[in-house]
Amino acid sequence: MRQRFAVVILLLCTSAIGGCAGDELFSPTAANSRYEWGLPTGFPVPVVPDDNPMTTAKVELGRHLFYDRRLSANETQSCASCHQQSRAFSDGRVVGVGSTGEAHSRNSMSLANVGYASVLNWANPNLSRLEQQALIPMFGEHPVELGMSGQEELLLARLREDTVYRRLFPNAFPGAPAPVSVANVTKALASFQRALVSGNSPYDRYKFRNEREAMSASALRGEALFFSEETECFHCHAGITFSASTKYVGKAFVEQEFFNNGLYNVQGTGAYPAPNVGLKEFTGRATDMGAHKAPTLRNIAVTAPYMHDGSISTLEEVLDHYARGGRLITSGPHAGDGAASPFKNGFVKGFTMTPQDKTDLLAFLRSLTDSTFLTDARLANPWRAP
């Protein structure tokens, strides 16, 4: 009974670490002070779990871990191998390739504004915590990414013997008797990812800072088309991240949305090629076939190729796909007309797109590129000599 009481006290302390920072448990230091977001004008505050409050020290530790190849068993890859800053933390490949050379079945997602995502990965309704998500690339076996399955002690031993981490872990987790743990690795990685806020694009400067010259006339026409009932783009790409699955402080509802966008209709059955069956993989519901999360469109111009399986190479072709209302594959094992899929979302209905419309939509999408985010030194590899 007394033991349980002690546990409750401890939990209370960890869930409100700021409140405990001043008492005897933890010494107050600059390192565990609350994180200053420095959010772009107009941006809401990202949601942070009570058990992993943001601190400058944790973000800094997370940054070192994110760029550290020792997080892969064979020390060839880090998180940044598939999530490169210059590509808005995506990798430019059709699908991700892990540390052992094994190909993933899906495209590496951009991590820009991932702290605002209400659901993670492409179609996993059970995954909404970045702390939990970090375990997948580290320890997943199907496919192998960083290849650390069964190698927890190896990982922790590598981290414990590094002089940099001997400083960073205790700073990030002050008072913890054994700060180098898998749980704390995931907490730090999650904190760094929550710091990946991108909100300085021409669109943001126009919308939130009233810089009228930031967007061209063509981009503004494209914006109107994007938010029109002709194209219907905004139904799935809604909100501050241009993804309907968004959360932030003050948002009262959990919204996680998944859409079949008519990419496949194998042999007219509505099927998507295995294993990428989308939400159906988790729910078992036939009608969830091919339903995936609408990814953020921020920095979309630098995150080619596109779609959950990287099967569309360019933004121009993505627009053609939506204008047609689905993709026609005329031959091969995946042949079928995605536009006629019985599981396609009703908003992917197709539209008439003139060459000027296409130019304008592209200009709008390119106005979502935040070049400062792609080069921000605070988000770059800390292990490299400056």
Partner 1 sequence: MTRLRRSLAVAPLLAVTLAACSSDSSTEPSGPQPVTIRFAAQVGSQAFTCGTTYSGLGSPATTATPSDFMLYVSNVRLLTSSGSEVPVTLTPDNKFQADNVTLVDFAAGGAGTACANATAETNTQVVGTVPAGSYTGLRFELGLPFEKNHQDQTTATGPYSVSRMFWSWNAGYKAVRLDLNTGGFPTGWFIHLGSTGCTPAGTASTVPTACTAPNRPTITLTNFDVTRDRVIADMAQLLATSNLNANQGGPAGCMSGTTDLDCPAIFSSFGLPFNGGSIPSSQSFLRAARQ
Contact residues: partner 1, CB under 8 A: 42-44, 125, 203, 206-207, 220, 223-224, 227-229, 232, 234, 238-240, 244, 246, 248, 250-259, 279, 282-283, 285, 287-288, 291, 341-347, 349
Query: Which of 74, 332, 362, 32 lies closest to 172 in space, CA to CA?
Result: 32
**Two tokens, residue 18:** 């700021």
Alpha helices in 325-370 (DSSP H): 355-366
Least CB distance to partner 1 at residue 70 (A): 36
Least CB distance to partner 1 at residue 241 (A): 9
Per the CB < 8 A criterion, the answer to whether 243 and 237 are in contact is yes
Nearer to partner 1 by C-beta: 81 or 256?
Answer: 256
**Two tokens, residue 237:** 């790409």
Nearer to partner 1 by C-beta: 36 or 229?
Answer: 229
Least CB distance to partner 1 at residue 113 (A): 11
Query: Is residue 331 exposed (0-12), middle (13-18) or buried (19+ Cβ within 10 Å)?
Result: exposed
What's the residue count for the chain?
Answer: 386
**Two tokens, residue 59:** 């973000």
Least CB distance to partner 1 at residue 48 (A): 17
Least CB distance to partner 1 at residue 190 (A): 22
Nearer to partner 1 by C-beta: 125 or 140?
Answer: 125
Nearer to partner 1 by C-beta: 26 or 208?
Answer: 208
User: In what helix (H) or strand (E) does residue 269 lie, and over which residues does it extend?
Assistant: none
Kindly list the distances between the CA atom of residue 340 and the CA atoms of 234, 287, 328, in Å, as whole numbers in the listed order: 22, 14, 9
Least CB distance to partner 1 at residue 206 (A): 6
Task: Report the alpha-carbon distance of residue 265 to residue 289 in Å, rounded.
Answer: 10
- The b-or-e profile of 372-384 (16+ CB within 10 A means b, else e) is ebbebeebeebee
Q: Greatest CA span in the chain, whole angstroms?
A: 73
Nearer to partner 1 by C-beta: 58 or 280?
Answer: 280
Least CB distance to partner 1 at residue 8 (A): 25
Nearer to partner 1 by C-beta: 249 or 377?
Answer: 249
How far the first Cα of the chain sits from its last, in Å, is: 54
Nearer to partner 1 by C-beta: 64 or 292?
Answer: 292
